[in-house]
Structure formats: structure tokens, C-alpha cells
Amino acid sequence: MLAGVDDSAPIRFRKRLRELRLACRWTQEKAAEACGIGYKLYQLYELGLKQNPGLVTLEKIAKGFGIEIHEFFAPAPVLRRGPKRGLDARKPAQDGKGNRPKSNHHL
């Protein structure tokens, strides 16, 4: 059985929030800043003391981590690194010389 499948939505939300923050190696304060929400509000969400964020807040949080809202709720494997803008795990791989493929598509 998949981990977290039996968890309620609020529990999955706070676990995913913490998972994303730790993957970026951010403090709660840094995560709140990146998401454009108050530190205390972020902290309350991650601790599960405040639940049910609005759609605008969810959008801010997802953007802060460099992902789309649907990615927040259907998580892919998280890389254990904290690049400049959130997870940013969607960049193409480097070739053997350390160069990234040239593309007009910017994520």
C-alpha cells in the first residue's frame, strides 16, 4: 500500500509542505518568504494547527516551491537539493561535459 494513502487531506497537506521545505533545505522562515506568505501562517500550516488553505494561498505555496498546484497534491519523487527557485527538478540533464541541452523552453 502507498504511504500516506490513508491519511486525511490535512495530514497529507502538512506532510507534503514539510517534505518540500526539507527537500529545498529551507527553514520555515525561508519557505514562507519564498511562498509569499507570513512565517507564522506557514508554521501553522506545517504543524497542522491551521488547515484548509484557500486556493490563492495554495497557488502561492506551489509557486514558492517552483511547482504547479497539481504537483503539490500528486507528488513526484523529490530531489534532495535546494536550487535557486524551489525544487526546479524539471531542468534537462547535463551532457558528459557539464552542458545542458539548448532549448527555448524555460521552466
- Domain spans, the chain: 9-73
What is the distance between the alpha carbons of residues 94 and 54, in angstroms, rounded to a whole number?
Answer: 38
What is the distance between the alpha carbons of residues 24 and 51, in angstroms, rounded to a whole number?
Answer: 23
Question: What tens digit of pLDDT does each residue of 1-21 get?
Answer: 344 556 888 898 999 999 999
- The answer to pTM > 0.95 is no
What is the distance between the alpha carbons of residues 32 and 50, in angstroms, rounded to a whole number?
Answer: 15
What is the distance between the alpha carbons of residues 89 and 38, in angstroms, rounded to a whole number?
Answer: 25
Predicted local confidence at residue 78, as pLDDT: 55
What is the distance between the alpha carbons of residues 24 and 80, in angstroms, rounded to a whole number?
Answer: 7
The region that residue 29 occupies, defined by phi over 0 for left and psi between -120 and 50 for alpha, beta otherwise, is alpha
Q: From the first residue on, what is the mean pLDDT of each consecutive set of 10 residues in the chain (107 residues)?
A: 65 93 96 97 96 94 93 66 50 49 45
Q: What is the CATH number of domain 9-73?
A: 1.10.260.40
